[in-house]
Amino acid sequence: MLQTQPRPSDEDWYSQAVCPETDPDAFFPEKGGSTADAKKVCRGCPVKDPCLQWALDNDERYGVWGGLSDRERRRLKRGAPSEWVGEPRRLPAIAASTVEWYEDQDARLAG
């Protein structure tokens, strides 16, 4: 298990992230463990969108980044139009998809 969260090199947004103040185990749970606590932290993070974009651009395969697990990021990439996938810094499109995903999850949980 990872003891510290990986630090993206030369990324300005990381210094504004909320996650360094949180237990890294929440972001990198054991297989089958809950990601709910990490996602709750991400929801209030001011750099959630650049974090998600970094994970997508760098094919990050572990942990919660930008409020999404690896599985959720893979689904997002598969469902994204081809001009988004592999095109770094297309954050507005990814951010819109993330907002839609959260809205769907909230509706499902309320439902």
User: Can you say which residues are annotated as belonging to the binding site?
Assistant: 19, 42, 45, 51
What residues are designated binding site for [4Fe-4S] cluster?
Answer: 19, 42, 45, 51
Give, rounded to a whole angstrom, the gap between the first and last alpha carbons of the chain. 35
Long-range contacts, 96-101 (Cβ 8 Å, 24+): 98/48, 98/49, 98/52, 98/66, 98/67, 98/68, 101/68, 101/72, 101/76
**Residues 47, 14: Cα–Cα separation, whole Å:** 8
